Copies of this chain bind each other. A is one copy, B any other.
Amino acid sequence: MTNATNIMRMSELYVPTLKEDPADAEIASHRLLLRAGMIRKTASGVYTFLPLGKRVLAKVENIVREEMDAIGAQEIMMPALQPAELWYESGRWNDYGPELMRLADRHGHEFCLGPTHEELLTATMRNELRSYKELPLALYQIQVKFRDEIRPRFGLLRSREFIMKDAYSFHADQESLQKTYDDMSAAYERICKRMGLDFRPVEADSGQIGGSVTCEYMALAEAGEAELVHCACGYAANAEAGDCLARPTVYDVSKMEKIATPDVHTIAELAAFLDIPESSTVKALSGKNAEGQLVVMFVPGDHDLNELKAARAAGGFELLTDEDMEAFGLHKGSMGPVGLPQEARVIAARSLQAVPKWVVGANEEGFHYVGARLGEDFDVDEWADLCTVQPGDSCPECGLPLEGARGIEVSQVFQLGDKYSRAMGATFMDEDGEERPFLMGCYGVGISRSMAAIVEQHNDENGISWPLPVAPAHVCVVPLVVGDDFVHPAAEKLAAELSKLGLEVVIDDRKERAGVKFADADLIGWPLQVIVGKRSLSEGKVEIKRRSTGARRDIDLVALRDGLAFTLRNAKTWGNELSLFGQLFE
């Protein structure tokens, strides 16, 4: 356990790599972070970071910290324990549901383990940040967070204890909020790029956090939980949140006709029965809004109603139970706009406005209408954006068909407005001496989640391939012989020289077969391997291998050193220089 130089030694590092895939690891990042000895599961959705995993985590944290500091945000640290009172004040003690982990202290006082810190920071500020002169202010922390996911899975992608960077800003006016929001957004783009992520900033929905203007940064990956749509023009959105411009098709018949549709209860069955595409049919859904009003919604047959959009359009929207439907005289498999109960409020997807004739249920068991004429046979009370966007829908910016993708949400920016400051009475004195609630923004980066997203994008059948700025070390020197007086000393000397150049170096000084060392190096994912063998060394050469491309070549020892020294001298910002090895070795 000596560490005379700052070279890491595989003989001492605790890196318990696994040969076999762990049983319950379904996706690449989960499987490979376990196999590479970087994380271990402690409980469902709760992980321990082993030395190499902790190193990667620290790299991600530092990138985030640097970018936050660069835009003038100030680092603080709030506690994980949050008094329940604050969450009662904001109304979220009840709203947050069972994902909020709760406990009582020995005196019976209620606390939660913070999944986010709007309440706590707003409460801290309301007593002290009193004047417009102290605004704007942006504070951030990098801290452990808790969310009791009902089904934790996918390793670090959906865990119950995780590391977040969360930032909060306080403003006197919207212009100032917008400025910080823009600064944060730009920082988030830089953070994603520096981590080596292929990402899209997408339109998002603000969910439980509240507020209105928001954007998610999505790392594109098949393992992602979020469905995205994006367009060559640059537009991208979370399918849940984007503006849905569906393209329904018209089944043209000369007049409205009621047809018997025995055993037809679903859109798929209706389309099959009529031999038309689902996009030519119209789907109906009945529900009640928050005030108990009956609301019937219509969407293109090939689209799904989006719950959040429906609730927003109707003022709450809870689907009717079978009993309720019966009470209203509605038929589950054959609802339509013709002959609805008088009291029904009819809201239809905006994209149906262009469809003059609808294929819909006849509000009669076993019957549908074709050619029901909008404005003649029936009317719609309101048009709204009701659907989850699908690939093939029109881009709201340019009209071309959207493409679909899956993404991992690595970060999100929000304009909260005065949601929390108003609820919690956090005000400041403006220039005219008036008390006003702060405008606030909040900005999150999933630190441990980003680590998983990076692996999802940078892996192959042999293991992880870390981008340089987040790799646990830059170079692994692999002596093929250990303990001799030729190969091993040369490898140690080279490792020391590379370390002196400012590279983070690990040497695989274990007495293992070459195959074991190569397999571990590929599994762990060091960006560059330098292989020191007897034969090439006797010619003054070593072999280098770039993990990302698999490219190998022999290189003169002197050329390696001098080349690296030259490149490092000329790399403007070394941490950013993703292509450093590329410049030198290809």
Residue numbers of A with Cβ under 8 A of B are 1-3, 12-14, 16, 40, 42-43, 46-51, 53-55, 57-58, 69-83, 98-99, 101-103, 105-106, 109, 111, 113, 120, 124, 128-129, 134, 136-139, 141, 143-144, 146, 148, 150, 160-161, 180, 183
Contacts and interface: CB of A to CB of B under 8 A. Distances in A.
Contact of A146 (B81, B109, B134): B81
A47 to B, nearest CB: 7
B103 A101 contact: yes
A81 B160 contact: yes
Contact of A144 (B47, B144, B148): B144
A121 to B, nearest CB: 8
A110 to B, nearest CB: 11
Given A51-B76, A75-B51, A148-B106, A81 B128 contact: no
A148 B106 CA distance: 7
Given A74-B13, A102-B103, A160-B105, A80 B83 contact: no
A144 B3 CA distance: 27
Given A74-B51, A183-B1, A40 B124 contact: yes
Given A42-B120, A106-B150, 4 more contacts: A1-B72, A42-B81, A106-B148, A143-B144
Contact of A80 (B53, B55, B75, B161): B161
Contacts of A120: 42, 48
A535 B101 CA distance: 61
A250 to B, nearest CB: 48
B101 A76 contact: no
Contacts of A76: 14, 48-51, 53-54
A148 B76 CA distance: 23
A43 B43 CA distance: 29
13 contacts: A1-B71, A2-B72, A12-B72, A14-B74, A14-B129, A14-B139, A16-B129, A42-B82, A43-B109, A48-B78, A51-B139, A53-B76, A79-B144
Contact of A79 (B14, B46, B57, B79): B46
A218 to B, nearest CB: 26
Ranked nearest first, the 9 interchain pairs of A and B with the lowest CB-CB distance are A1-B72, A103-B103, A51-B74, A49-B77, A98-B106, A3-B72, A43-B83, A46-B79, A16-B128
Q: Which of A46, A99, A160 has the most CB of B within 10 A?
A: A46
A113 B111 CA distance: 13
Contacts of A3: 69-72
Contacts of A138: 1
A88 to B, nearest CB: 14
Contacts of A47: 79
A77 B57 contact: yes
The interface centre, meaning the residue of A12, A136, A143 with most chain B CB atoms within 10 A of its CB, is A12
A51 B138 CA distance: 11
Given A70-B3, A106-B150, A79 B183 contact: no
Contacts of A137: 1, 14
B80 A80 contact: yes
A478 to B, nearest CB: 20
Contacts of A40: 124, 128
Contacts of A54: 75-77, 141
Contacts of A58: 75
A106 B160 CA distance: 11
B180 A1 contact: yes
Nearest to A18: B128
A82 B47 CA distance: 10
Given A1-B136, A69-B3, A79 B42 contact: yes
A99 B77 CA distance: 23
A368 B48 CA distance: 63
